[in-house]
Amino acid sequence: MGIFSRFLPKRKPVEIKNNVPKEKEEIRKTFGVYCHSHHNTSGSKLCPKCTALLTTVMTKISRCPYGITKPICERCDRPCFGTKQTKEFRSIMQSTQKKMFLRHPILAFKHKMKSWGVDYAKHEQEKKQAAKAKARSKK
Burial of residue 13 (number of CB atoms within 10 Å: 0-12, 13-18, 19+): exposed
Measured from the CB of residue 27, what is the shortest distance to Zn ion in angstroms? 14
Q: What angle do CA 59, 90, 97 make, to 5 degrees?
A: 110
Measured from the CB of residue 47, what is the shortest distance to Zn ion in angstroms? 3
What letter represents residue 117's amino acid? Answer: G
Range 1-40, binding Zn ion (CB under 5 A):
35, 39
Measured from the CB of residue 44, what is the shortest distance to Zn ion in angstroms? 13
Contact predicate 84/21, CB 8 Å = no
Measured from the CB of residue 91, what is the shortest distance to Zn ion in angstroms? 13
Of 45 and 122, which CB lies nearer to Zn ion in the complex structure? 45
Name the residue among 110, 119, 106, 89 with its Cα closest to residue 23. 110
- Judged by CB under 5 A, does residue 50 bind Zn ion? yes
Of 53 and 64, which CB lies nearer to Zn ion in the complex structure? 53
Of 20 and 47, which CB lies nearer to Zn ion in the complex structure? 47
Measured from the CB of residue 45, what is the shortest distance to Zn ion in angstroms? 9
CB pairs under 8 A, 24+ apart, for 46-50? 50/92
Q: Segment near Zn ion (CB under 5 A), from 7-15, 50-58, 65-73, 127-135?
A: 50-58
Name the residue among 26, 45, 18, 47 with its Cα closest to residue 97. 26
Task: Give the one residue of 20, 22, 28, 47 binding Zn ion; rule: CB under 5 A.
Answer: 47
Q: Which residues sit at the interface with Zn ion, rule CB under 5 A?
A: 35, 39, 47, 50
